[in-house]
Chains A and B, each alone.
Chain A
Amino acid sequence: MALPDHATRLERVWHRTYLIICGLIFFFLVAPIIVIIPLSFNATPYFTFTKEMLTFNPDGYSMRWYDDLLSSREWIRSIQNSFFIAITSTIIATTLGTLAALGLSRREMPARAAITAFLISPMIVPLIITAAALFAFYARANLSQTYFSIIMSHVVLGAPFVVITVTAALSGFDNQLIRASQSLGANQVTTFFKVILPLLLPGIIAGGLFAFITSLDEVVVVLFLAGPEQTPMTVRMFSGLREEISPTILALASILVALSIGLLTMMELLRRRTERQRSG
């Protein structure tokens, strides 16, 4: 957004102020997340930069909170739980969500808007309501505090993201390709696996990543549904933050920030791939 050469002085000053404001907002967005990382290497159990840290004295830094985290059986267990729940629910949510998106994008789909709104509603309904309803539901069947109930609940919460991303991917989809494939003699199944799926894959993966992060990050429903066996890391983090906040939480938080950077990179690569496909 370069200024034209004939810009007045006032415009230049305004433009510079505007850029500074934007810079500050970007700082506000990212700084709190980044600041966790150096603090997680703090040698003291405080949540601030010590003198040693600010002067880059190596004594001010240590790995002790990472050691704490990785040597605690409870933390490891809960991290495993989180990933197990997230991966399982992602697979189910992605399958159900992709099928639904394929249906929704058919021209013949009746009541499309209403059905889409319904399928997306778990994203909108306050989590405390969802959590309480699901708790009552699974407790009646004596299934609360089981992996089954947690995974099913996370499918509910994750599927809308898959529906949204896959529908978006399908909206840029060229239906001619299907006809071309069929005119060349491919049947429906072949067409789906050889033509539709490869083109949709980036959208499906993106949806799956959303469902994955939604499950990994979810706190409220698991607070109601998880027993000691299934406790995922978010519940431990939540009670840690509530009761006795220790820098161990910052170590885990830093690892999670690294994870989100990884996921973000994957999304960016997927986006580029889609763009190439569309333009080429």
Chain B
Amino acid sequence: MTDAAVSPGMGLNQTASKSAPLTTADGKPLKAALRKANGRARRNALLLVAPLFVFLLFTYTIPIVQMMARSVMNPEVANNLPNTSAAIGDWDGEGLPSEEVFAAMAQDLKNGGRSTIGRVAARLNTDMPGLRSTMMGAMRDADEFQAPFKEALLADDDDWGDPRLWTLIKRETRTITPAYYLRALDYEYDQAGEIVPRPENLQVYRSIFWQTAWMSGLITILTILMGYPVAHLLATLPLKRANLLMILVLLPFWTSLLVRTSAWIVLLQQEGVVNNFLVFFQIVDDNDRMRLIYNRIGTIIAMTHILLPFMILPLYSVMKTIPPSLTRAARSMGATPLRAHLTVYMPLTIPGLAAGVLLVFILAIGYYITPALVGGEGGIFISNLIADRMTGSLSQLRLALALATILLVGVLVLYWLFNRLVGVERLKFG
């Protein structure tokens, strides 16, 4: 702190009872000095935070926002079929467009090179499989097209006579599109431009979102069931013994995620320790070993184990502050132990429970590594699907980014809730 920040305090003591304008020891008006000191202290505080803040802003937040922005981009048709885009605006959507539009298309196909038409063909193919070849073929023949262009294009490939193709082109002339978000939620546009569910055998994303949510929910419940009694025991034991047992909670917390995941692979696989144990004690038959991994069960067991400390630690830190005298008082007034526990103790643990539940759930829905390693086909999360689509075509990339944005928004809402209910400053480890 600077001198100015210290002296107002002294000035205040000396001049508090006088009615004249308050001044500091060196005669400056106190109000101004205070404001100045306060401003400086604020600036100092901000300056300390600034390096990390700016660092995160530039190497973290902006990259994420930039990436997300790409999920609505749709420049292909407008940029690469300029004549068609201009001409098709007047088409009323009934039957086939006029000769004028076909002529514009023929012109665009002729003007555009391999990469110009390639881009738009790949884009449109996402909504109409097979269209890519139609367009690329027409591009190669474009130099020979003669008026009337409608007949010329239809002779090249009868797909050009499909009104769906033209509706699609008209719709996609806009450069910003929600199409990938619709797709990410298993919806699409129909011929009339209405938003309709996709055919059932192509619906996949909503069910994976749902699976991510319910499996995370189940994992959260399991961590409550296991974490609550343990946290309670740790909070009520004498400190020395509690600290000792705490190590058993902290050891997994400090152990590498990959190590814990490999441990479960070793334990749960068909030739693994658990199955051998069960076979040895003849609980299951040697030829009928249990499939405990590479499916949902594997993901749930491993993730419950990995996330359990995140439930125990916040619960413990709240339970530690509840004086045992409270339950004793309830009992002395005639409550049964169960009643005393349910009505007096449990309500007091709710802040810890809320912190644990939100933390475990938030971390669980973003999981990638563990489901990828032990989830097989059934036990995957939305992150796995996102990672999968990320490396594909431009359309798949944008779809992945739409999925990622939905996931991110979900996480941020939960995080906001966490801040409202618990507060980040309450987060503590160890």
The reply to whether B1 and A188 contact each other, CB–CB distance below 8 Å, is: yes
B142 at the interface (CB under 8 A from A): no
Contacting residue for B59 out of A1, A48, A137, CB 8 A = A137
The chain A residue sitting closest to B238, CB to CB, is A1
B38 at the interface (CB under 8 A from A): yes
A250 at the interface (CB under 8 A from B): yes
A32 touching B419 in the complex, CB below 8 Å, given contacts A103-B46, A109-B45: no
- The secondary structure that dominates the A interface is helix
For A107, the chain B residues whose CB sits under 8 A away are: 41
The reply to whether B273 and A33 contact each other, CB–CB distance below 8 Å, is: no
The reply to whether A122 and B56 contact each other, CB–CB distance below 8 Å, is: yes
For A168, the chain B residues whose CB sits under 8 A away are: 428
Complex Cα distance, B401 from A264, in Å, reads 38
Contacting residue for B369 out of A159, A165, A219, CB 8 A = A219
Q: How many residues of B contact A (CB 8 A)?
A: 92
Contacting residue for B48 out of A100, A155, A253, CB 8 A = A100
The chain B residue sitting closest to A178, CB to CB, is B1
Complex Cα distance, B424 from A225, in Å, reads 30
The reply to whether B226 and A117 contact each other, CB–CB distance below 8 Å, is: no
The reply to whether B248 and A253 contact each other, CB–CB distance below 8 Å, is: no
For B261, the chain A residues whose CB sits under 8 A away are: 241
Interface residues on A, range: 35 or more
The reply to whether A267 and B430 contact each other, CB–CB distance below 8 Å, is: yes
The chain A residue sitting closest to B65, CB to CB, is A133
A98-136 residues at the B interface, CB under 8 angstroms: 99-100, 102-104, 106-110, 113, 115-122, 124-130, 132-134, 136
Complex Cα distance, B88 from A257, in Å, reads 66
A156 touching B429 in the complex, CB below 8 Å, given contacts A104-B49, A109-B45, A128-B383: no
Complex Cα distance, B236 from A103, in Å, reads 36
B237 at the interface (CB under 8 A from A): yes
The reply to whether B48 and A99 contact each other, CB–CB distance below 8 Å, is: yes
For A56, the chain B residues whose CB sits under 8 A away are: none
Give B contacts to A, CB under 8 Å.
Answer: 1-2, 6, 38, 41-42, 44-53, 55-56, 59-64, 66-67, 226, 229-230, 233, 236-237, 243, 245, 247-252, 254-267, 269, 271-273, 276, 305, 308-309, 337, 362-363, 365-369, 372-373, 383, 386-387, 390, 400-401, 404, 407-408, 411-412, 415, 419, 423-425, 427-430
Give A contacts to B, CB under 8 Å.
Answer: 1, 11, 18-19, 21-22, 25-26, 28-30, 32-33, 35-36, 39, 46-49, 96-97, 99-100, 102-104, 106-110, 113, 115-122, 124-130, 132-134, 136-137, 152-153, 155-156, 159, 161, 163-165, 167-168, 171, 178-179, 182, 188, 206, 210, 213, 216-217, 219-220, 234, 237-238, 241-242, 245, 249-250, 253, 256-257, 260-261, 263-264, 267-268, 271
Name 20 interchain pairs, CB-CB below 8 A, sorted by A. A1-B236, A18-B229, A25-B230, A29-B309, A32-B260, A32-B305, A100-B52, A110-B46, A117-B424, A126-B408, A129-B64, A129-B386, A137-B59, A159-B55, A159-B56, A178-B1, A179-B6, A182-B1, A219-B369, A253-B263
| Known A99-B48, A113-B419, A134-B60; 19 more pairs at CB < 8 Å | A30-B248, A35-B266, A46-B271, A106-B45, A106-B48, A108-B45, A115-B49, A118-B61, A119-B52, A124-B362, A124-B415, A127-B368, A128-B383, A164-B424, A165-B429, A220-B368, A253-B258, A263-B254, A267-B430
